[in-house]
Structure 1
Amino acid sequence: MNAKIIIVLVSVVAAAGAIATFYSQAHAPLERVTEGFETGYGGWAPDADVPIDPNTGQPVDWYVARSTDVSFSGTHSLKFFIDGRQDDGTIWIERKVLLREGARRVNITFDLYSGEESFNTIAVVCAYAGFKDPEHEGELTVLGPANEVAGWKRYSLAVDIDTGNAQEAWVAAGISVRWETHMTYYLDDIIIEVT
């Protein structure tokens, strides 16, 4: 084979490899966090904005805990319980994620389990991505009713961000009461991608 042809072929292969590497790096997440809660909370912490129960003078009962009741994958998920009889309250999990220079978008995806389907909006699914630690119900974005199906349903939120000098962002996912009743849901397989 002619030496010129070999040089051209090697150059074409090298250029194609460089283009493929550049393309995959340009479109790969800058930060990816996945958690299935199999061995713990994975850096996530429960938080809430709940009303006072007029019968006790204390905040309404709520918790977020690891559970083996149901899971989307593996054996564990997070169980969300809230006493919604005051027709108010939001509970969620939250954590920080690192931002690299050039980050433009935060995507949050997770699966939520409802024990029953309902045409009534008993609770809504909500999520958050931003630069401050969410502390109030109104800071979270409503993604839809929590009882659209009996079983698991995937929810997601995409937020465009302007990082400026920020080096980290907060993300959260949870439920918010819309009906006066006790309620339990499960969350599993949460994925955060910063691109």
Structure 2
Amino acid sequence: MKKGEKKLLSALSVTLVIVMALMGCSGSGGNTASPKSDSPSSQNNETPSTGDAFVLGEKPLEFSFYGYYDWYTMPDWGADLATKWIQENKKVNVVPVSSGGVAKNKLSTMIVSGELPDVIWMEPGAEVEKLRSEGMLVPFDDYLDKYPNLKKWAGESTLELLRSPDGKLYQFPNWYTTQPNGNAGYLVNKKIY
């Protein structure tokens, strides 16, 4: 595999992990700003009943993704080998939302309209706090015990550092581990390596 392909696969894997964490959070009733529709995206965001685990690939999963960077343009999903495999074998489709080179303006417009994407990739700061204060984010707290790897590798001190003024955790970075895997700690399956 070429070096560029490895970086792309790594970036897409990080995105997928973050997306899956956020999609798991979407069933808790937190985001009331997203419009309800009969789109494939809204039909596939069903919360499984208690005791049922979500199995990636059993049902199609589609979500929108916004990269909050003026320079970022998401590559076409399914155009490369990695995302094509994910799309075909795991039934995951990612719909990009472009910033058009004006990320801050685009985010402000989405906040005002109440039409946010399912996932927003961004830096911590004022924009995250604005989304939180508007009630547009779902906290991770209920999921930290259910999916303990993030809690285990981040540690309590990192989690406390990331908490918002209301005491809840709404964001999760890719730099959270001090393990030798650097800021891609959750990409490595140690059972294989």
Return the TM-score normalized by structure 1.
Answer: 0.22
Which structure has more relative contact order (CA 8 Å, sep 6+)? It is: 1
Higher share of residues assigned helix: 2
Larger Rg, first or second structure (1 or 2): 1
Higher share of residues assigned strand: 1
